[in-house]
Amino acid sequence: MFYYLVLRQLTFYNWNRWYLLAGTGLSFLIPLVNVLPSITTQEPNNLNMIKAMPTFQNLSDPVLYAANTSDFFNEYWYYVIPVLFGLGLIVQAGKLTIQFVSFFRLRRSATQLQKGSINIYQVDKPIAPFSFCNAIFLNKNILSPAELQEIIRHEQVHIIQKHTIDVLWLECLCLVNWFNPFAWLLKQAVRQNLEFIVDRAVLMEPDLDKKYYQYLLLKVIGLPNLSIANQFNISSLKTRIMMMNKTPSNKRELAKFLFVLPIMTLLLLSCQEDTSLTETNKVRADLKQELPPPPPPVVATFNFDNFLKQNPNIKNITPEVQGDSISSMVVELKSGKREVYNFKDDAQFEKFKQRYGFFPIHNLPPPPPPVVLPASSDHTLFMERNPQVENLGWQGDKTAVIFLKSGKREEYDLDKPESKAEAEKKYGKVPELVLPKGVTQFTPPIIKKDK
């Protein structure tokens, strides 16, 4: 953007060339440079501060997060992105390979007219003149001797200044960054600037007629070309002629290149991450022998309702407990999908945490004393009216759970009119949950597998 807005209109074409080459190279290195240690002050030797910091285990514990995206994306996004990148890389590499194969076939079929530091080849095809490395390819049958002289003079500048390096570097850049539109804009800018360099060098020749040279550009503008080479007509003709007739920029305008420094500083800072935690961990490791053994981990209170709020796509979860830990988890999604996670398998447990967030499995806190709910007259009438019902329970305080003697389990959200109407149509009036005095919310305890 800095090039397009500030530098492109200047006639310092060689400066622009090195700016574009250096900028595209530094773009790969800037994210690897860590400048934070040199601009921040840390005091890791304060032992009291180190002792007051949370343990590494607590720092690494995952936090609750909301699963706001689809199940498919949560499970496969880390496969989709590399696959898409690889496919694009293969397509671009295939196109580049085809271009190189076409070039070498053209070279084999061409006739060499001149051999030396600069080789000239005759191509019996209607192509635009171009140069690649130290060779010039043209069709002398469609050009006059005077035009051939100007074209060879033009392509010699490309060869002497080694512009093929610029072209190949930008091809590699677009190969790796095929998904980045700025890479393709840079490729176009570099090629256009190379033509500006050559046009100015040719126009400085004392025996050159500027108007004749511009008409020569017009003559070859529509001929086929090879995209990996330096073509005689690579740039827009209108833009090239405009830059030929442009008044040279004042040398004082070279100061505009100094704005690169604040841009580099901004880019460096935007690519930094706070490494203070890493440094703290290193110091903590050095002091490991001096610190007293850490106390046994304390499991924070886990709120089941908050877990469901963080995962609105979950309809219900059923944990299976063995001993003092959860051995597996059955997740029922609102979409109707049912997932089972074996928490004894580390891979499956990590997969569950990545998808739905943290859920404690070890050292479970003792369950709260059971809440005994008095049986109301409505509840008694409901059970007598529906002999097929084995029991009536509650999930939260608004969702009635009906356990049938057939083993089937049905849930009805009484806050939703359509769900309440469906329950009453099938079973009659469903009694409301009556909480004892002082109890504001009822959460069913985790039922062990053997009970």
pLDDT at position 430 is 84
pLDDT at position 72 is 57
User: Does the global pTM surpass 0.75?
Assistant: no
pLDDT at position 322 is 73
Residues of the chain with pLDDT under 50: 42-69, 234-235, 277, 287, 298-300, 370-372, 443-451
pLDDT at position 177 is 93
Tell me the chain's radius of gyration from C-alpha atoms. Answer: 37
Task: Report long-range pairs for 9-16 (Cβ below 8 Å, ≥24 apart).
Answer: 10/249, 10/253, 10/256, 11/196, 11/200, 11/243, 11/246, 11/247, 11/248, 11/249, 12/249, 12/253, 12/254, 13/193, 13/196, 13/197, 13/200, 14/197, 15/254, 15/257, 16/193
pLDDT in tens, 65-91: 444 445 555 566 777 888 899 999 999
pLDDT at position 63 is 40
Cβ distance 30 to 271 under 8 Å?
yes
pLDDT at position 183 is 92
pLDDT in tens, 254-310: 888 888 888 888 888 887 765 554 555 555 555 455 555 655 554 445 566 777 788
For 285, counting Cβ atoms within 10 Å of its Cβ (0-12 exposed, 13-18 middle, 19+ buried), the class is: exposed
pLDDT at position 94 is 93
pLDDT at position 179 is 92
